[in-house]
Amino acid sequence: MTLAKEDIGRGHVPPTIRSACRGAWRHPHAYKARDVNTPSFTSEMQPTGIDSTFGALFDGMAISTLLFGVTCAQTIVYYRRYPNDPRVFKLLVLFLWISDTLQQLFMSHSCWYYLASKCGGDAANCLVANWSLIAQLIPSELTTVLVQSFFIVRISKLAQTRWGLTLHIFPLSGLLFSIVYIIKCYRLPSFEYGRESQWEVYSFSIVHAMSDVVVATYMCVFLYIHRDHAFYRMRTLLQTLMLWAVGTCFLTCCVTIVYIALYIMMPFNMWYIAVYFTHPKFYANAMLAALNARKHLRNRVQGAAFEVC
């Protein structure tokens, strides 16, 4: 069954779909036992239950909340450990925390809207992405681009070259594709039109993954080249930095690959959204961990004229 966009906007939903949605909210276990599934919007859509739609949304929010707690803890550690840091670093961390907090608030509101308020009591609204579910994309992408740009600038400073700044083309391209996707989501908020935004999702996700790989590769190559000219303690530090770069890239790339794979295989449930909820949290914690580890790394190379960050 296909719903016209204007029918969704006016709340005119066939009685069968309306009763199915209401049954899902009131009796989720019975709903699953009767094999009454979330209403399908097109003939190509696979039936999905509430556990794999709004239940998945809640699971993603719960995991993201735990990671947000780690972000807050690392932010406090940073301001206590580095009170004399340059103002630009302090503002950068503050902006990162504000962006991550906004994403957490938008995400929590969207879960409350679908699960607690039951879409305002109107079953037709469960077929449409509410404003906060779309709005959380903005701070999420800002966090991702901010962290990627931070590592690019860090590498350029480490290599003492400016051409490394050309790597900014990757995060900026990802930001451009994500802006196009966000605008399209606001224009067509119905989940029915999710397949029409495939290329935007693939584009900004692939660009983000490529950015992580390129930055990690560039850093490892630079550190490996200078490894032979360093003394023992410095060599140990360079090995640590290479492992850190590879580990950070591997983690963020894995999250990107997982939510893209889920989007391809199961586009009409919300597991890919649940994984995406955690995506900016990994980036934020990677940057904060890099900043907070500087004192420990410097202590490992006492007397070396080498600036880590």
* Exposure on the CB side of residue 149, measured as CA atoms within 13 A: 15
Range of lowest pLDDT (46-50, 70-74, 112-116, 284-288): 46-50
* Residue among 65, 145, 60 at smallest CA distance from 105: 65
- Partners of 190 in the β-ladder: 128
Q: What is the dihedral of CA 216, 220, 223, 224, to 10 degrees?
A: -170
Cα end-to-end span (Å), the chain: 57
Distance CA 259, CA 276 (A): 6
pLDDT of residue 206: 87
Q: Helix 137-159 vs helix 198-227: angle between axes, to the nearest 10 degrees?
A: 20
Write out pLDDT tens, residues 227-245.
Answer: 666 555 566 666 677 777 7
Contact 291, 78 (CB under 8 A): yes
Confidence of residue 80 (pLDDT cuts 50, 70, 90): very high
pTM of the complete model beyond 0.85: no
pLDDT of residue 40: 43
Contact 212, 246 (CB under 8 A): no
Contacts of 112 (CB under 8 A, 6+ apart): none
**In 228-270, where does DSSP find H-type helix?**
232-265
Q: What is the CA radius of gyration of the chain?
A: 23
Range of lowest pLDDT (5-14, 69-78, 167-176, 255-264): 5-14
Distance CA 290, CA 158 (A): 14
The two three-digit tokens of residue 292, written as one number: 């907070």
Average pLDDT, the chain: 77
The two three-digit tokens of residue 108, written as one number: 């929590």
pLDDT over threshold 90, residue 205: no
pLDDT of residue 23: 45
Residues in the chain: 309
Q: What is the dihedral of CA 230, 231, 234, 238, to 10 degrees?
A: 50
Per-domain residue ranges of the chain: 50-300
Q: What does the DSSP 8-state code read for residue 84? A: T
Contact 216, 246 (CB under 8 A): yes
Distance CA 129, CA 191 (A): 7
Contacts of 65 (CB under 8 A, 6+ apart): 104, 108
Write out pLDDT tens, residues 143-166.
Answer: 999 998 888 888 777 777 777 678
Contact 152, 215 (CB under 8 A): yes
Q: What's the CATH architecture for 50-300?
A: Up-down Bundle (1.20)
Write out pLDDT tens, residues 35-70.
Answer: 333 444 444 444 456 666 788 888 999 999 999 999
